[in-house]
Amino acid sequence: MSLLETKKLDAFYGDFQALFGIDMHIARAEVIGLIGANGAGKTTLLRALTGLLPAVSHSILFGGQPIGGSRAEALVKRGIAMVPEGRKLFASLSVEENLKLGAATGRHGVWTLDRVYGLFPVLAEKRTAYATTLSGGQQQMVAIGRALMSNPTLLLCDEISLGLAPVVVADVYRALPAIRAAGTGIIVVEQDIGQVLRVADRLYCLREGRVVLQGPAQGMNRQEIAAAYFGAAA
Amino acid sequence: MIGALDIVVQGLLVGGFYALFATGLSLIFGVMRLVNLAHGDVIVLGAFAALFLVQQTGVQPLLCVVLVVPLMAGLGYLLQRAILNRTLGANILPPLLVTFGLSIVIQNGLLLGFSADSQKLPMGHLTIVSVSLLPGLNVGLYPLGVLILAALVIGGLQMFLYRTALGTALRGTSDDPVTIRLMGIDNRHIFGIATALSFAVAGLAGVLMGGYGNFSPAAGPQNLLFGFEAIIIGGLGNLWGTLLGGMILGVAQAIGADIDPGYQVLAGHIAFLAILLAAPRGLFPRMA
Amino acid sequence: MRDRAAIVFGLSLLVCAAIPLFGDNGERQLGLEFAATLTLATLWNLLAGYAGVISIGQQAYVGLGGYVLFALTVFAGMPVLAALPLAAAACGLIAMPAGRLLFRLRGPHFAIGTWVLAEVFRLSAAQVSALGGGSGMSLPIMSILAISHSRPQRLLDFYLLSAALALATSAAVAVLLRSRFGLGLTAIRDAEAAAASLGVDVMALKWIVYVITAALTGLTGALLFLQNVRISPDAAFSVNDWTANVIFIVVIGGIGRPAGPLIGCLVFFAFRAAFAGYGAWYLIGLGGLAIAMMLLQPQGIVGFVEAAWRRRAPARAGV
């Protein structure tokens, strides 16, 4: 049974339809790459999965249970956590306070404050600093750590390399194997195709709210991806 | 000389009341950027709740706090969840207009229940006991007690906000009410908690004020203005600043009253406007 | 269909407006009050609905206009009709620095600040014995008789003046909103940050609207208290009379809609005629209605009707 599965998932912003019949699935400890141009619907899909956007109940199944349209707070308690686009750290809280808030659901698992500091040692030194005084890469680590503190079974990462230097991006992505080892499934939204091909097991490419390409990352070639990405006639 | 010192001391002592008026207002604004125009009326509601209890049971008014504070907290939570949560958003008009309407409803509801007469909670000698520091310089123990209590309440709130998980959740919600939901925290509930706290402090302020000065159904707006002025003078986002702001307001009013009793409230307003001119963000602002 | 409804509505309005011309003193009084309230509502709608400036202290200028008129008449011996425009000018002049000062506060804090200003005016007026202190003052008989020796005639004159003011204000606001200035205002209302980034000087526009509104509000106040012959601090600067009612009217009618104030006034006066006898219950009902309106139908009656019309007749090409 998949960890999460969507069946003909539609999503709307008011009258505007942003997703058209998305079918996707992810298994435990699997890493899925979600790619597509800006406006293709990647963030929209993540928002629907985390309950920030309404959806038809049966169009999203988590552990076999219909969760579409559930409130975000409830979904975090069930084990879906998101590292939001732009990090969205709490500006008036310290690094440690941000991390501790992530544990507010009280879910148990391998991820504790110490374990997160173990994954990102630099954060331990900066634990009392205001989250927004950190560098971009460090802030990204806090955002990931914060999501991990809820011990999710599914982690959604929205553009975690955005605005970061390649060296820093590598640092951030180095954390993925440890997360996966805990059995967590990860959906990674990325603009950097090369990065995605390195970390993902399978790939979905979105264009204008539809899945236009999917398959194992291993077998994909750049041309296929570019064609799907930009919609150029082959 | 002693006369001047006495005026300043009287003003400082009254500041505790104003700080209590302001604290609830400040809390709600801090967490959800909402200004409750009915806040002054909520304070008066607390006073009338105590009056009702006293009239029905003859209990010592100060003890009413034990019942009034939790009742007001519950009322605040319900009001936020049922009505005020629906007004939150980018537009500042709905919360202003809804709380303005609420103010009118509360004032007239109290009018129906209690008549327009001026009331006072019967606390007897408690409110006039004073200690003479110097000849001509008397310190009322009741207002002093209120001032100390205001400091304790603010200190308690600070500890709650900075040392507890729920307090951290409130501060996080104030930063980003959407992302807080990604922490598994229901922002609607957090807003309710904030308003519950606000109403609790307002209820306390009402009971304390009710024994010291007169109150009537129409007395609400005045309390709102005083609380607001204390906040702006002290600086947005700073509860300790609000305590100071309340004391400064009190001193300004005391000076005005000394010139002519009719100038008391006016002097406070003018001091507020003067500080607004000289230091628009208040004396110790903390909010962006 | 829509045009026919508008014509019928317009004609009925004209008929209603004509009643005080032939009616009795009571009807003239009511007509005057309606026209003055409509003017105040139109101005508040301009301020809040178009410029996005929420003020709960416009009573400051209602009272100031009244007191300036009385002061000029009593102390400078000025004929009442000459004093009217001066009252308006005085309010505009005072609003200039007042607005500058108050705009240091943002949003809801600005709103309370306007209330503080009104309180400053009220308390100050009560302290000036030349103005009658707390109990107020009356206009001298000579000044009143100078307008006309017959009360019905005076009431008629006042009614015509206030109706003219209401009409002029509505027309001026309509013209303003179609001008470049008005475009800037609508831009502010719809998306303030975007407007600012396009070079619209948001604060300057808001300030200008605040000052103009203050002047015209003052003129209305002067007219109201001229008709009343008596002024006192509590009546002049009453929140309930000059702000609460006006806000109710604009909210019920439809904020930011041209027809909002008129519809709101009609509903308010009807409501009042029917229920004012119930005292505090009436006010609770008013407050409750305003709350319900804001929660359920924030666009007011006009917004509701417009939406219904749109559902009935979806976009017609070329219309």
User: Which residue out of C112, C135, C242 would a mutagenesis test of the B interface target, given it has the greatest number of B Cβ atoms within 10 Å?
Assistant: C112
Give the minimum alpha-carbon distance from B151 to chain C in angstroms, rounded to a whole number: 24
Q: What is the C-alpha separation between C275 and C292, in angstroms, rounded?
A: 18
Picking from C119, C247, C280, the nearest residue to B108 by CB comes out as C280
Please give the backbone phi and psi of residue C224, each rounded to the nearest 5 degrees, phi first.
Answer: -60, -45
* pLDDT score of A234 more than 70: no
Q: Is the pLDDT score of C316 beyond 80?
A: no
Task: Tell me the pLDDT band of A232, cut-offs 50, 70 and 90.
Answer: low
Find the farthest-apart pair of alpha carbons in chain B and give their distance in angstroms, rounded.
62
- What pLDDT is attached to residue A126? 92
Lowest mean pLDDT among B198-202, C126-130, C147-151: C147-151
- How many folded domains does chain B comprise? 1
B98 contacts in chain C (CB < 8 Å): 290-291, 294-295
Tell me if A123 sits within 8 A of A112, measured CB to CB.
Answer: no
Shortest Cα–Cα distance, B29 to chain C (Å): 10
State mean pLDDT over A88-104.
95
Q: Any idea what the CATH number is for the domain that residue C229 is in?
A: 1.10.3470
Residue B137, phi-psi category: left (phi > 0), alpha (psi -120 to 50), beta (remainder)? beta
Asked if residue B250 belongs to a domain, the reply is: no
Closest chain A residue to B179, measured at CA:
A88
Q: Is residue B174 part of a domain?
A: yes
Nearest to C238, CA basis, from C136, C118, C98: C118
Eight-state DSSP code of residue B104: H
Cα distance from N-terminal residue to C-terminal residue, chain B = 41
Question: Within an 8 Å CB–CB cutoff, is residue C19 touching chain B?
Answer: no
Side-by-side strand order, sheet with A31-35 = A80-83, A154-158, A185-189, A31-35, A202-207, A210-216
Q: For strand A210-216 and strand A80-83, is the pairing parallel, antiparallel, or unpaired?
A: unpaired
pLDDT for C17: 78
Euclidean distance between CA atoms A223 and A220, whole angstroms: 8
Query: Residue C151 sits in which domain range?
Result: 2-318
* Three-class SS state of A209: coil
- For chain C, the domain total comes to 1
Q: Is the pLDDT of residue C188 over 90?
A: no
Is B204 a member of any domain? Answer: yes
The mean-pLDDT minimum among A105-114, C190-199, C277-286, C289-298 falls in C190-199
DSSP E strands in A72-209: the ranges are 80-83, 154-158, 185-189, 202-207
Highest mean pLDDT among A130-139, C137-146, C147-156: A130-139
For residue B29, the enclosing domain spans 16-123+130-217
Distance CA A25, CA C16 (A): 69
Tens-digit pLDDT string for chain B (288 aa): 778 888 999 999 999 999 999 999 999 999 999 999 999 999 999 999 999 999 999 899 999 999 999 999 999 999 999 999 999 988 888 999 999 999 999 999 999 999 999 999 998 888 888 888 888 788 989 999 999 999 999 999 999 999 999 999 999 999 999 999 999 999 999 999 999 999 999 999 999 999 999 999 999 999 999 999 999 999 988 899 999 999 999 999 999 999 999 899 999 999 999 999 998 888 988 864
| Confidence at residue B221, expressed as pLDDT on a 0 to 100 scale | 95
- Rounded to the nearest angstrom, the gap between the alpha carbon of residue A157 and the centroid of all alpha carbons in its chain is 2
Q: Do chains A and C touch (3 or more CB pairs under 8 A)?
A: no
C288 Cα to chain B: minimum distance (Å):
7
Cβ burial, residue A64 (10 Å; 0-12/13-18/19+)? exposed
CA distance A124 to chain B (A): 19
Cβ–Cβ of B175/A52 closer than 8 Å? no
Enumerate the H helices of C56-179 as residue ranges.
59-75, 80-102, 107-127, 141-147, 151-178
Average pLDDT over residues C128-133: 89
For an interface test with B, the pick among C203, C234, C294, C299 (most B C-beta atoms closer than 10 Å) comes out as C294
Nearest in space to A176 (alpha carbons), one of A56, A27, A58, A31: A31
Tell me if B271 is assigned to some domain: no
Q: How far apart are CA C84 and CA C154, in angstroms?
A: 15
Q: Is residue B60 part of a domain?
A: yes
Confidence of residue C2 (pLDDT cuts 50, 70, 90): low
Residue B135 φ/ψ, nearest 5 degrees: -60, 125
Looking at the predicted structure, is the pLDDT value of residue C23 above 80?
Answer: no
Q: Taking Cα atoms as reference points, which of B123, B89, B95 lies closest to residue B25?
A: B95
Over residues C141-152, the mean pLDDT reads 82
Confidence category of residue A54, pLDDT binned at 50, 70, 90: very high
ipTM entry? 0.93
Residue B138, strand partner residues: B132
CA gap B262, B249 in Å, rounded: 16
Q: Which residues of A touch B (CB under 8 A)?
A: 50-52, 71-73, 76-77, 81-82, 84, 88, 90-93, 97-98, 100-102, 104-105, 146-147, 150
Q: Tell me, what's the pLDDT at B288?
A: 46
How far apart are the CA of C119 and the nearest CA of chain B, in angstroms? 8
